[in-house]
Amino acid sequence: MKILISGASGLVGEALSRELAKDGHTVARFVRPGRAASAGDVQWDPMTAHADVPAREGADVVVNLNGAGIGDARWTPARKSVLRSSRIDSTRVLVDALAQMRRKPLLFISASATGYYGNRGDEILTESSEGGFDFLALLARDWEAEAMRAATCGIRTVILRFGVVLSAEGGALARMLTPFRFGVGGRLGSGLQWMSWIALEDVVEVVRAVIANERISGPLNLVAPNPVRNSEFTRIAASLLHRPAMFPAPAFALRIALGGMADLLLLASQRALPEKLIAAGYSFRFANLEAALRGILNRAS
């Protein structure tokens, strides 16, 4: 198959490009102006709504992973605008280009996040659960709405609601483990908030499964089947790193340091379960957090 990937330079995009190429697929990237391009890559500029539609012809699968890093900078009004534009506007440009293709792709896979559900305490969240109403929830809702327009063009569309992706190659986990490495780790706030997570290896395997299984469509919780509370993550991380976990970060201190990011990124609770993946018979490589973290730390060392 010919597979086109936007956001191919990110953690998930790089791993996905590498592994799909190993499978024998022809993998090409969406490349912005001024960036180095390889043969088969597609030029596009979502900021000016430009996309090289002819270059996309022949694509069987399009994967949309575009989006500025949620936790990379404080959420000023300008930064919030960037977060929305890099997801919603870029997805709109991409779907518009797919609609113009003579032979449309068989499959469009687009990223979203479990932030779609908002802060839900202990409630179990499946793909049929209603969305929330905070900034991240509304961001995800609008992002998904743009992506689902591809389905009206007759393209099978799958929305990946990512939990926290755990990997030895970088991403959020490195930031999460840094305090523990220096012996100053601890729970965040009460520690009762649920964390939905998934190993990078399972992300790649799920995409493979989605490509192969034509019955999978719509939103998909891309999370392991065993979410954990932050206090449990803290205990496991400290144990595996042989460090203490005696320095909790009070909620008020996190809010002073990070503003609105603290409540939605660190203190919000999403107990998401991969109901549709389980129903489709997917078998997780890493269903247990301790096993996942142990494998990641072993590879990193």
pLDDT tens for 121-173 read 999 999 999 999 999 999 999 999 999 999 999 999 999 999 999 998 888 88
Helix (H, G, I), strand (E, B) or coil at 81: helix
What residues pair up with 42 in beta bridges, in sequence order? 30
Q: Which of 196, 108, 101 is nearest to 144 (CA)?
A: 108
In 89-245, alpha helices (H): 90-100, 135-148, 172-181, 200-212, 230-241
- For the segment 236-267, what is each residue's pLDDT rounded down to a tens digit? 999 999 998 888 999 989 998 888 899 999 99
Altogether, the residues listed in the chain come to a count of 301
Report which of 157, 160, 161, 44 is spatially closest to residue 106, judged by C-alpha positions. 157
Span 31-84, pLDDT tens digits: 877 676 677 777 777 776 666 666 667 899 999 999 999 999 999 999 999 999
Structure tokens given for 158: 């799958």
Q: At what angle do helices 77-84 and 135-148 cross, to 10 degrees?
A: 20
The residue behind tokens 């687009």 is 110
pLDDT for 37 equals 67
Residues 6 or more apart in contact with residue 249 via CB below 8 angstroms: 186, 187, 188, 189
Is 0.75 topped by the overall pTM? yes
Residue 50 is predicted with a pLDDT of 67
Q: What is the mean pLDDT of residues 192-197?
A: 98
Q: Residue 110 — very low, low, confident or very high, per pLDDT cuts 50/70/90?
A: very high
Q: For the chain, how long is the longest CA-to-CA vector?
A: 60
Task: Look at residue 299 in the predicted model and tell me its pLDDT.
Answer: 82
- Contact by Cβ (8 Å): 231, 192: yes
* DSSP tag of 115: G
184: pLDDT confidence band, cut at 50, 70 and 90? confident
Give the side-chain half-sphere CA count within 13 A for 29: 19
Q: Residue 9 pLDDT > 70, yes or no?
A: yes
